[in-house]
Each structure stands twice: as structure tokens, then as C-alpha cells.
Chain A
């Protein structure tokens, strides 16, 4: 090792002082000690002061951001709920309006039906009355037909054979013909 050091030293060091400084073992103890002191102090300062402090700063910030996000989410949920309530009420009102319109339509239709039923009943009664009258007239006319036939038969017999036939004969003959 020592020979290598000297070689490197002499090869690289033109007129300098002795061996190549990074391989000069006489400086090692001092460098190691001061490195231990300074790096140890640095590690202590970092682990006890600087890093916990920065960590707490970053945590506070991310906590604050999370809190703000939560708040925003909460507000969003609230506004969503308000919109849902509004739409629900709108739908209810529409349904109610529809119901009212339906009711009115039903009521008017029912009234109309009652009226029509009344008129129809009235008309049916009138038709029945008329039919009854027609039947009466018809019966009366039919009753008068045999009288007219008897008279006509009597007149015809009289004209044709000049024989006097009794009313009763004619009547039985007519009713026999009518059969």
C-alpha cells in the first residue's frame, strides 16, 4: 500500500510536498476525528431540531389542506341535498297538480254521465208511452175492422143475392173467415 501511495504521489505530484495528499495516512486520524465531531453534530441537529420542525410544518399544511377539502366536500354534500329536496318537492307538486286535474276531469265526467242517464231515461219513457199509444190505437182499429167487415159483408150479400141475412150469421161468417 505504501509503495502504491508513493508511486501515485510521485507520478501525480510535480514538485509538491511529499506523497499524494488523499493517501497520506498521517492526516487520517485528524480527518476521522473532525468528521465524527462535525457529522455527529450535524446528525444531532438534523434529527432533534431541523427535521422534526420541517415534518411538523408539512404535517400542519397537509392537515390544513385535508381539512379544507373535507369542508368543501361537506358543503358539496349539503348543496346536493338541497338540490335533491328541491327536485323532490317539484315532483310532489307536479303529482299533486296532476291529481287535482284528474279529479276535476272525473267529477265533470260523472256529472255528465248523470245528466245523460237522466235524459236517456226520460226519452225511454216517452218512447214507451208512444208505443203504448200506438198499440192502443192499433187494437182499437183492429176492433173496428170486424164491424166494418160485417157491415161490408151484409151490404155485399144484400147487393148480390138480395137476401136478408141475420146479423149473427154474418158475424160468425166474418169471424170464420178471419179465422
Chain B
């Protein structure tokens, strides 16, 4: 596993476009979201290059899968420390899904678990300086959100038939109000994939930009001499605090994504309110 960061650093160095100099890199808070091609590829007129984003997707999946598979290979009755981390992840997501979607929802457990671990690891990878954050791109979070909503729709109609539409008609509502309520329910359902994807994307993006801006103040202030160096202590403190906050956000957003997935799946399994 120790080879992975080295390989990432190597590819990262290769991936840097040489037109941006060091000063730009230090001051530009948007640069960290730049996608650069490592291996340019094209198929059917579409760009499918292996980019820094692809590299970190591979790293996220590789490290997570290797960890989960290797730590449990001992199948210890009394778990080792690393094995109990894997078990804790399993039980955490399993409890989450069981408590919101019931035992019937457990058939979606591999998906919810994969989503949670993938988003969590992608967010945590993003916390390393110079690393690319996969979840900072709306297309990635939107794809994951559409996967969830698509599954909810397909499974909901497949299992309940047209009974799935009861999801939009809460029971016990006066007949006069039904058109209004149905309109609101449909709107809220349509906004689900948007809120699900934008929440994760915006949190990660905003967090990284804020962190970069505050960290950027430190070298900027240090350049103006002694007063600047003393003044740079404040943004340094902010940067440290924000880093801690970002670790929390990294976990929290993965958790929120997973729990919302569970609740939406619950709607597909039990559509009547």
C-alpha cells in the first residue's frame, strides 16, 4: 500500500500542465479542481482520457478494496485492530440501512456500503495536499445521485407497480388538498437527485476553496516582512481549524449521502407513507 502515494505523486507531477507557474499554483484556489490528462484517449468522438481524476478514483477504489479485503483475510474470531475497523464500517452501514429501510432493504447493502466507502475515501484522499478530490466535481456526485434515484425508481415500479405512485399521495389528506400535495411531493422527489448531488459537491468544493484561500494568506502575508509573519499566525490557525472541520465534513457528507440513500430506498420498498 505504501507504493500508492508514491505512484500518485509521480503521476501528479507528470500531470501538471507546465504553463502554470508556482506563484499561480499557490494563489489560485480553483487550480486544485483542474482536470489534467495523464493518458489522452478518445473513443467514438468522446474524450475518455485517463486523468488525474481517474487516477484518484482508481486510488480510492484500490486502497479501500485492498484494505477491506486484506484486513479480513485472517477471518479472526477475535479481530485484529485493522479487521475491527473493517467490521465497524460494515456494522455502521448495516445498522444505518436496517434502521431506515428495514431488513428488506438489506438487499441494497452492497450498494449503500460501496457508496459510503467510496465517497468517504474520495473525500479523505482530497484532504492530502496536492491530491485531487474526486467528489469536488458535480458530474461525479450527480452520477452517484442519479444512480441512487434511478435505482429507487426502477425498483419502486418493479416491486410495487403503479402502487409506487402512492409515494406522492400521503394517506389521510383531504381530497381538496390532494392535487396541491401531489404537486409538492413530485417536486420534492424531483429535487432529490439535485440536492443529493449538489450537497456533496458544494460542501467539498467550498471547503477546499476556503482552506486554500486561508492557506494562501500565509505566504502572501509572510512576504511583507516581520509584521506580516506575525499576522500570518491568524490564517495559519484558521487553516489548522478548517482542516479539522474538513475532516469532519469529509465523513459527514459521506454519512449524509449514505443515510439519504437508505431513506430513498425505503420509499421504494415501502411507498405508502
**Could you tell me which A residues sit within 8 Å of B by CB distance?**
12-17, 20-24, 26-39, 41-43, 45-47, 49-51, 53-58, 60-61, 64
Contact = CB atoms under 8 A, between A and B. Distances in A.
A51 B35 contact: no
A80 B119 CA distance: 55
A26 B47 contact: yes
Interface in B151-179: none
B136 A22 contact: yes
Contacts of A23: 138
Please indicate which of the listed interface residues A20, A29, A61 has the most CB atoms of chain B within 10 Å of its own CB.
A29
B57 A34 contact: yes
Nearest to B32: A21
B253 interface: no
A46 B114 contact: yes
B67 to A, nearest CB: 9
A56 B54 CA distance: 33
28 contacts: A12-B30, A14-B27, A14-B28, A16-B24, A17-B17, A17-B20, A20-B33, A21-B33, A22-B201, A27-B35, A30-B41, A30-B48, A30-B51, A31-B35, A31-B54, A31-B143, A34-B48, A34-B54, A34-B57, A34-B58, A35-B134, A41-B61, A42-B64, A43-B114, A45-B69, A54-B72, A54-B87, A60-B77
Contact of B139 (A16, A31, A46, A54): A31
Nearest to A33: B48
Contact of A50 (B48, B65, B91, B143): B65
B75 interface: yes
Taking chain A's interface residues, is the majority helix, strand, or loop, or is none over half, making it mixed?
helix
B19 to A, nearest CB: 7
A70 B68 CA distance: 32
Contacts of B34: 16-17, 21
A7 to B, nearest CB: 14
B261 interface: no
Contacts of A51: 90, 109-110, 113
B86 interface: yes
B47 A27 contact: yes
Contacts, number: 148
Interface string B129-149: 000001011111001100000
Given A12-B30, A15-B24, A34-B51, 20 more contacts: A16-B30, A30-B48, A30-B51, A34-B58, A35-B134, A35-B144, A36-B143, A38-B54, A38-B61, A39-B114, A42-B65, A46-B65, A46-B114, A51-B109, A51-B110, A54-B87, A55-B90, A57-B75, A57-B76, A58-B90
B27, B61, B201 interface centre (most CB from chain A within 10 Å): B61
Choose among A14, A15, A38, A55 the residue with the greatest number of B CB atoms under 10 Å from its CB.
A38
Contact of B51 (A27, A55, A61): A27
A61 B91 CA distance: 13
Nearest to B134: A35
B139 A28 contact: yes
Contacts of B138: 22-23
B189 interface: no
A57 B51 contact: no
Interface string B10-33: 000000010110001001111101
